[in-house]
């Protein structure tokens, strides 16, 4: 079993490279297909519900989904996604909760929640409007 492990890993690497080439050349899709307003609202609702239900796995799932979608879009559409996150007020900073929602997320003593939350915050603050939104 271990004799063929190196060969198996090389085969997996080759297959992943081929898959990546297919996606990067033929699989280009529009940002609006990946992230419509309905999908954004669904993510936000799941995120808020998971937070109030103290479902840490669901919080991480939603945050990572948002971040993965941000990483999948082309760089020229990056700002559009960030602006959409701000417009939908994903962290509820413009509501009456002000910063209590995001601070309560940071108070959760789970490293996977912190990692997912800070990863999405880093996506948002990658633009000037995003930095203004967070601060």
Count of CB atoms situated within 10 Å of the CB of 116:
22
| Closest by CA position to 101, among listed 117, 82, 87 | 117
> Residue 31: its pLDDT value, please?
45
> Residue 59: its pLDDT value, please?
92
- Model confidence pTM above 0.75: no
Q: Could you give the maximum distance between any two Cα atoms of the chain, in Å?
A: 61
Q: Tens of pLDDT along the chain (135 residues)?
A: 556 777 777 776 776 666 566 556 544 444 444 456 778 888 889 999 999 999 999 999 999 888 887 877 777 788 888 888 898 888 888 887 777 888 888 899 989 999 999 999 998 998 899 999 988
Rounded CA separation 87/94 (Å): 10
């Amino acid at each position: 079993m271990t004799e063929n492990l190196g060969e198996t890993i090389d085969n997996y690497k080759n297959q992943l490279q081929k898959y990546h080439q297919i996606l990067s050349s033929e699989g280009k899709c529009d940002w609006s297909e990946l992230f419509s307003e309905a999908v954004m609202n669904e993510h936000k609702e799941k995120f808020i519900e998971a937070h109030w239900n103290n479902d840490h796995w669901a919080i991480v799932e939603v945050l990572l989904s948002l971040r993965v979608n941000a990483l999948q879009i082309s760089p020229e559409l990056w700002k559009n996604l960030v602006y959409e996150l701000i417009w939908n007020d994903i962290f509820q900073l413009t509501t009456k909760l002000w910063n209590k929602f995001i601070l309560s997320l940071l108070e959760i003593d789970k490293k996977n929640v912190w990692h997912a939350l800070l990863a999405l915050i880093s996506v948002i603050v990658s633009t000037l409007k995003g930095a203004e939104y967070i601060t």
